[in-house]
Amino acid sequence: EIGSVREVNVKTGLPATTSTERLELLDDDEHILSVKFVGGDHRLRNYSSIVTVHPESIDGRPGTLVIESFVVDVPDGNTKDETCYFVEAVIKCNL
């Protein structure tokens, strides 16, 4: 349900142990999911993402293309590249 919040225990070895996430959008027909991080010890402030899933032919075989886009503030003491690396690691854990 839109607005639902989940508490996630991070077990990946990343520099975080918890994340609180709110479902912003879920469209089963269009295969769209949007999530906003609203808490946790991961230092990702104002993080929100949209995931879309599309049928795709891969080497002539049916497959799936997953596209995730996100916005996030770069924390003090980190670079844009460091922040993107961390977010990409989180994304890989969720896919």
Spatial distance between the Cα atoms of 42 and 54, rounded to a whole number of angstroms: 30
pLDDT band at 95 (very low <50, low <70, confident <90, very high): low
- Residue 49 belongs to domain spanning: 5-94
- Name the region of 77 (left: φ>0; alpha: ψ -120 to 50; beta: rest): left
Span 15-39, pLDDT tens digits: 788 889 999 999 999 999 999 999 9
Span 40-76, pLDDT tens digits: 888 889 999 999 999 999 899 999 999 999 999 999 9
Number of H helices, E strands in the chain: 1, 5
Amino acid at residue number 63:
G
Give residue 43's pLDDT: 83
pTM above 0.75, yes or no: yes
| CATH code (residue 64) | 3.30.530.20
Number of domains comprising the chain:
1
